[in-house]
Structures are given as C-alpha cells and as structure tokens.
A and B are shown apart, each in its own frame.
Chain A
Amino acid sequence: MIPLEHWLYLSGMVFTLGLCGVLMRRNVILVLMSIEIMLNAANLALVAFNKYLPPDPATGATAPDGQVFVFFTIAVAAAEVAVALAIAMALFRRLDTVNVDDVANLRW
C-alpha cells in the first residue's frame, strides 16, 4: 500500500500550486479556479487521512467521517463558486474586465 506521507506530499504540492495560482494569476476566473484546486488538495488530504486512521477497536472498522466531510466541502465550494461567478459576471458587465489589477479604485 502507498504510505500516507505520499498522499500528503501530493496534497501539499497541489495546495501550494493552487496558492501560487491565486498569487500570480491576474484573471479572476483563473484565481477562482486556483482556489478550487486548493480546496481539492484539502479534500485529498481528508480522504487520505480517513483511509489511514486506525480502526475502532469495538467495531473493527473506521468511521468514514473524513470522506463525508469531503461531500460537505464539495457542496459548499459549489455554492461559493456560483456566487463568485455571479459577481465576476457583474464585474465584467460593469467594468468590462476580469483582470484583478484593473479593480483597484478603492485605496487610500
């Protein structure tokens, strides 16, 4: 079996990749996609952790809490993205841009 560390390295790499995307991309849609990648890295870690938890001595099985949590994350991320894209649409309609650098009127 593949050791847990490998999954965590993978998830860490994906998370970092997403974070770099958020910091370096200038297009709002791509920034949102990068955040989705970060969330998926967290999901991967959750599932991997759940798989490798020691089983409950009473029942001999591991409760699938972590995997159920992933469903919550997926559902919430979908809701979040729906709202985010609606706002990105409004941004494009009003300011004719999806570039985050152009959205900088509020500053001191």
Chain B
Amino acid sequence: MHEVSIMQEAVRMVIETAKSSGASRVHGLRLRVGAMSGVVPDALRFAFDMVCRDTIAEGATLNIESVPAQCWCAACQVEFECEDFLNECPQCHELSGELRRGRELELASVEMS
C-alpha cells in the first residue's frame, strides 16, 4: 500500500502532539493497524526508520497493534474472523461483504518527555 506516506503523517502527528505538550523527545508511539487495512507492518517499520531520522522521534519505539478483521454474516447472525477479500462464513459458507472491524489505521498514543 502506501506505508511511507502513512508514516510521514504518523510522525508529523507525533511531533505535533509532543510539541503541543511541551515535550522535547518522543520515546515511543503505538499504531493500531487493521488486518484488512491493506498496510504491511514490516513496511511500516521500514518506513518509520527512514521518516523519523533527524526528528525528535528518531529512535523511538514503534508498537504496532494488529486489529483482526471481523466480518458479519447476515444469514447466520454471527461475526467471524476473516482474512482476505473472500469472506466465507464458516457456518453457511456464503460470502459476506460486510466488514465490521479490521480497516483501522490510527495513531493510538505517544510516549514522550
């Protein structure tokens, strides 16, 4: 997907949060990344290493919290974990297009001082 520009935005947000809190150093950040967000965590880490250089976030710990994708089967009235574009209900095997969780892409928190 577009991990570099996602991390650019994340670092921009992190620095903004730190500065507005009067902090001079960022020690860590936590991202929540949905399994179906299209984003690859390894690529995020690689991008972060590049993007945080020469900023107050350089060397900060990057925590990536993976959010599993959950689909809804209207026929069975159940939620089930889904992994890719073909979301087959484990009970009735019908395809479900309704993703209830798993597309998250957010900056959850920042640790600073």
- The answer to whether A binds B is no
